[in-house]
Structure 1
Amino acid sequence: MNARIDHLVIAADSLEQGAAWCEATFGVQPSGGGKHALMGTHNRVMNISTVRFPQCYIEIIAIDPEAPAPGWPRWFGLDQPALREAVRELPRLVHAVARTDMIEMLRQSLANCALDPGLPLAVQRDTAYGLLKWRITVRDDGRTECAGALPTLIEWAGAHPCAHLPKTPLTLQELVLRGLPQEALDVLKLPEVLATPVEPANPAPLSATLNSPRGTVMIDAWHAED
């Protein structure tokens, strides 16, 4: 087992908009979070762990209007004009992140499959429980590979966010990744994920199904053709 799904990424125009969308969609509000000085972004997070998806959370992320713009593209494609326009309407699921203790090996193995997961960057943010530190793969252009279906890799140094996030009534039940090359699936070995070809009836690169106080909710990821 090389990697496990760590968190889902929801891009929002602002954290206030993202929190309101969470309440309307799931009946719950995100709690913790903080600022990413390296990328000029900030977030709110909430625990969505299950036995199938242990130590898993949702991240609502937005460009921080109080932070200076970084001198490089922000992660998760947040600077793409089409995505910026889309999230002004409503927040969008854009990506999933997979954790590993072998980030360098998996990154190189994906590169050997002619995929560009990016290079590991060292990132940290302050929390009420201390400093969170991790390494995460980010491409030079800030975009995600395979239209967002190929998970970004993350390697935590020390505590995981879920160690201090309270349990919520929102839980991840299923995650579908579409259109990933078999070679990438062989590298990542994600045991909890359903991998399928791109479906003409649903071209979303990924879809997540969650149980919530508002019932079962399925959200499809944004893609450039929306």
Structure 2
Amino acid sequence: MLELDHIAVLGETLAEAVSHTEATLGAPLLPGGEHPDFGTHNQLLGLDDGLYLEAIAVDPAAATPGRARWFGLDQFSGPPRLDKWVCRVPDLDRALALLPMAGEAVSLSRGSLRWRMAVPRDGILPFAGMFPALIEWQSPVPPGLALPASGARLDRLSVAHPEAEALAALLVPHLTAPVVEFVTEAVPALRGSFTTPRGIRVLQ
């Protein structure tokens, strides 16, 4: 029911998030766009296996949104880092009936893209942000299939949290994502291990 859709690198600025990603993976990110509903903007990188990566940050040119920004960006600070993972679901309402802590459904669009996303009222996902954001694509060709391949493949996504076992117990019964592992560590964090044309790279 839950499949890994994409991962997100957050930054205090989009330039910082993009630079961190490009320096680690050795591939240029492509233009993305703006999200007026949340006052953010992004750039994108196509990965193998229908996955993709987005670098995202608060858009300083956007009006202040009338609600908390998604991905906890209102509270984000520090160096850019891999900070969020997003799972697609075929039916967001059904997914939220099973996992109501994911947030409330919000309908969004940009250009030809249409989607619904679960966003907590305060913008902060459970388990210190290590709980995945849930997305239901309503476009026939989502970004993971539309973006050109960069030559980078995500081999392993490690979700670290002091209560990793509890997080896994919530998600694993519904999750189809062989690359995802849950590890018990003192500090919540994401780590992505990639095979790239330049060799193995770890993004965190």
> Could you state the TM-score of these two structures normalised by the residue count of structure 2?
0.89
CA drift of 1:193 comes to 3.8
Matched residue, 2:144: 162
Q: Is the 8 A contact 2:156 2:181 kept in 1?
A: no
Write the mapping of 1:49-198 to structure 2, written as runs, cut at 5 A. 49-50=48-49, 55-80=50-75, 83-84=76-77, 86=78, 90-111=79-100, 116-126=101-111, 131-158=112-139, 159-178=141-160, 179=164, 180-186=167-173, 188-198=174-184
Aligned to 2:18: 19
Aligned to 1:223: none
Aligned to 1:224: none
Structure 2 counterpart of 1:219: 203
Distance in 1, Cα, partners of 2:197 & 2:168: 36
SS at match of 1:22: helix
Aligned residues: 198
Amino acid at match of 1:212: T
Q: Give CA deviations for 1:34-73 in whole Å, capped at 9, x if unaligned.
A: 11010010100111123xxxx2100000111111010111
CA RMSD of aligned residues (A): 1.7
Q: Greater strand share, 1 or 2?
A: 2
Q: Which amino acid in the other structure matches residue 27 of structure 2?
A: V
Q: Is the 8 A contact 2:158 2:182 kept in 1?
A: yes
Q: Please identify runs of 4+ aligned residues in structure 1 that moved more than 4 A.
A: none
- CA separation in 2, counterparts of 1:166 and 1:194? 23
Q: Give the CA deviation at 1:213.
A: 3.6
The whole-number CA distance in structure 2 between the counterparts of 1:163 and 1:185 is 25
Deviation at 1:197, TM superposition (A): 4.3
Q: Is the 8 A contact 1:177 1:193 kept in 2?
A: no
Unmatched segments (≥5 aa) in structure 2: none
Gaps of 5+ in 1: 221-226
Identity of aligned residues (%): 32
Deviations 1:63-93 (A, max 9, x none): 111110101110000001xx22x1xxx3111
